[in-house]
């Protein structure tokens, strides 16, 4: 993996909100950046920035319908969203008393 690709991967997918954005886009009820930002509890500007990075990686496409810009997962984006959900399920099945881990800030 090239250094630039590794940095993009680490910046995007080692943080919970971008992962949640990607997996939430599987839901057909979520079609706009505003809806994504509300579900993920993130600012609209941050959401748009992350979605633009997703677009550059080929994970989402934007479709204009009048004044509205729809966001949809590509096939590759859908595959990665499924993978992240699988990882989340595997972590939830790990043995131990504490299922939720709060990261230190």
Per domain, the residue ranges of the chain are 3-89
Contact between 40 and 17 (Cβ < 8 Å): yes
- What the block records as the tokens of 85 is 């959900």
Length of the chain measured in residues: 105
Q: Are 73 and 79 in contact (CB under 8 A)?
A: no
> 92-95 contacts: CB < 8 A, separation 24 or more?
none
Residue pLDDT, tens place only, 5-15: 666 766 667 78
Digit-coded pLDDT (tens) for 83-93? 988 888 887 78
CA distance 46 to 11: 13
pTM of the model: 0.76
Q: What is the pLDDT of residues 17-59, one digit of tens each?
A: 899 999 999 988 888 999 999 999 999 999 999 999 999 999 9
Classify domain 3-89 by CATH architecture.
Orthogonal Bundle (1.10)
């Amino acid at each position: 993996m090239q250094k630039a690709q590794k940095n993009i991967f680490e910046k995007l997918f080692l943080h919970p909100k971008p992962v949640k954005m990607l997996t939430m886009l599987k839901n057909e009820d979520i079609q706009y950046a505003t809806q994504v930002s509300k579900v993920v509890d993130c600012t609209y500007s941050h959401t748009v920035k992350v979605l633009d990075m997703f677009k550059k990686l080929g994970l989402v496409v934007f479709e204009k319908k009048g004044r509205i810009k729809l966001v949809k997962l590509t096939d590759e984006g859908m595959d990665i969203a499924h993978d992240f959900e699988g990882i989340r399920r595997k972590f939830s099945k790990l043995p131990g008393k504490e299922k939720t881990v709060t990261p230190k800030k």
